[in-house]
Amino acid sequence: MGTITIIKGDITLITADAIVNAANTTLLGGGGVDGAIHRAAGRELLEECRKLNGCETGEAKITQGYNLPARFVIHTPGPIWKGGTCNEEQLLKNCYYNSLCLAEQYGCETVAFPSISTGVYHFPLEKAASIALRTIQNYLKTSHTIKEVLMVCFSDQVREIYSEALLKQSMEK
């Protein structure tokens, strides 16, 4: 079974088979992680994304990594938090699950995720961490390809919350 490692870092510098982009539904770049990935990958990423005709919230699409140290970028638009009454939890779970499915389909052994929807989309961080880690752990139980998933956190506070959530879930087993 694959492992989950939680680190603080810049996802655009991670060497992995695939990094996941917390995209918007246009896939044409934006702020935060999305903008950083587009800037680091170069113009070719935007050109390829234009051909994908966007992506629904919770779904995922894959592109080449271009100037990134990752072979692929998996783009997944996360849900905007609206108080938890608009299926946000299931949509976030779908982001992680569908991204992992694509990674597996493309033979990826290492996948790096940011904390999807917890920035400008305001998904509560503790809740998002729990959903992300549970979804990844469940997926890794049956994956034959993915050996390591990195949760790349942009701050010590986010890394700490993911670390605590992972510890809590490992104690529940």
According to DSSP, the β-strands at 18-23 and 3-8 are unpaired
Token look-up 């010590």 returns 156
Cβ-contact 19, 64 below 8 angstroms: no
Three-class HEC string of 46-97: HHHHHCCCCCCCCCCEEEECCCCCCCEEEEEECCCCCCCCCCHHHHHHHHHH
Residue 103's contacts (CB-CB under 8 Å, 6 or more residues apart) are: 17, 18, 72, 74, 111, 145, 146
Catalytically active residues, by annotation:
34
